Structure formats: C-alpha cells, structure tokens
Amino acid sequence: MYILSPSLLGADFKILGSQIKETEKAGAEYLHIDVMDGIFVPSISFGMPLIKSIRPASRQFFDVHLMIVNPERYIGDFVKSGADGITFHLEASENPKEVIDKIHAEGVQAGISIKPATPVEEVYPYLPFVQMVLVMSVEPGFGGQAFIPESLDKIRQLREYIDANDLSVRIEVDGGIDKENVRKVIEAGADIFVAGSAVFKEPGITENVSCFMQAFKEYTF
Ligand code: DX5
Ligand code: ZN
C-alpha cells in the first residue's frame, strides 16, 4: 500500500487550510510537516503553533519530520499539537533508542531519518524499534532540490535488509520526488513518498496528486 505525504513546505501559506484539504480530498493519506531549527539545518520553518492550528483542517496522518537538534526536548509538545508520527534524525541524537522510546511513550509512531551522506547500515540497529525509516534524497533544509540518484541504492539496500530480517518498518523517501521519478523510487522499494514542489506546483494539487495515485495503482496488484 503506497502512501503520498505532501510536504507542507511547498504549500501556499496564504491559503494553507484549503490547500491541505485539497491534498486530502485528492487521496494523500499523510501530511508531511518539516520542522527546522536553523541549527541542524540552515533554515527555520515552523513549529508547534502552526501544527496545532492546522490540525482541525484535516484527518490526514500528521507525519512530523524533525530537523532539529535535541529532538527529545520537544516530543511531548509535538504530540499535543497533533502529530501522529514523529521522525527524528539519527545524526541529531546521541541516544536514538531513548528518543524512540520517548516517542512511543507519548503514544505515536516513531521514525528515524538519515541524511544523504549517512550509510544505511547506521540505522540497522534501530529498525526493530521504529515504524518508519526516512531516507533523505536531498540534503535536508530546503524544498525544491533535485533528487540525488544514489538514494535509490540506499532504498534498495534497506528494502533487502528489512525483508531479509522480516521487519515491519516502512520506508519513506523525502526530497526531489516528482511524477516522473516516482516509479524508480517505487521500484527501489519505498512505501511512503514525500513530495512538496511536485504536489503544490501548477497545474494544481488535485491533478498533481492524481498523477502520484496513478503511479501507485500501476504497482498495486
Ligand atoms: C527538505 C524537506 C522536504 C522538502 C521536500 O529538508 O525535508 O520534506 O519539503 O520538498 P520537495 O519535494 O520540493 O523536494
Ligand atoms: Zn521532510
């Protein structure tokens, strides 16, 4: 079952509520929410108040991607604001297992993410404990960058490891995914697809989301 997770960063914030609803209506089951602190990544995006304010606009799974240092400090706050799943960066944490336990203690799903330069082997020890592993296919920090082709090998390698070890963790891929390259990402073994620019650009959300849904259908038997 493939899932599209439109990245809020790509939305038009003047009309945020209606844009979110349109992604939901068009078939996107998740909403990807990028939180940046200006330290782990160069840019600053948004935080708890924004998530709380958009929560009533959608029944989608709020897929919160923390690009922040010391993620353990804010887990309770993000859950209170409406997160259904929290993904943090392996590179941002000294004790990833503790962060995972803290996320679960708050009653939501846990995800762990790796940047393009981090070898996949580094997340293996945490895979039995998380619901999702997020492979960054661009350098985290900004929307609208080009997909790094080497990410496909990382996805394939993870898929093989997960299947060989009978793990139930899902693979999410984030950065530079569009309706042209999504099939390659599906074939590499991903389950959840983040897309910002490709969802919110012209000709429009409904049409763009349908292109992704069509690709998912082609690979669903
Ligand atoms: C980048 C973010 C992404 C980004 C994706 O740091 O994690 O979620 O918004 O945007 P596109 O799809 O435009 O690459
Ligand atoms: Zn993201």
Cα–ligand 1 centroid distance for 111 (angstroms) = 16
Q: Are 204 and 18 within 8 A, CB to CB?
A: no
Q: Are 31 and 23 within 8 A, CB to CB?
A: yes
Q: Say which CATH class 3-218 falls into.
A: alpha beta
Per-residue pLDDT of 1-15, as tens digits, reads 999 999 999 999 999
Q: What residue spans define the domains of the chain?
A: 3-218
Whether ligand 1 lies within 6 angstroms of the CB of 85 is answered as: no
- Collect all residues with Cβ–Cβ distance below 8 Å to 30 and sequence separation of at least 6: 3, 4, 5, 6, 60, 61, 62, 63, 192
- The atom number, within ligand 1, closest to the CA of 198 reads 12
Is residue 221 scored above 90 in pLDDT? no
Residue 108, phi-psi category: left (phi > 0), alpha (psi -120 to 50), beta (remainder): beta
- Collect all residues with Cβ–Cβ distance below 8 Å to 208 and sequence separation of at least 6: 179, 198, 199, 200, 201
Q: How confident is the model at residue 42 (pLDDT cuts 50, 70, 90)?
A: very high
CA distance 83 to 61: 8
- The atom number, within ligand 1, closest to the CA of 41 reads 6
Q: pTM higher than 0.95 for the full model? A: yes
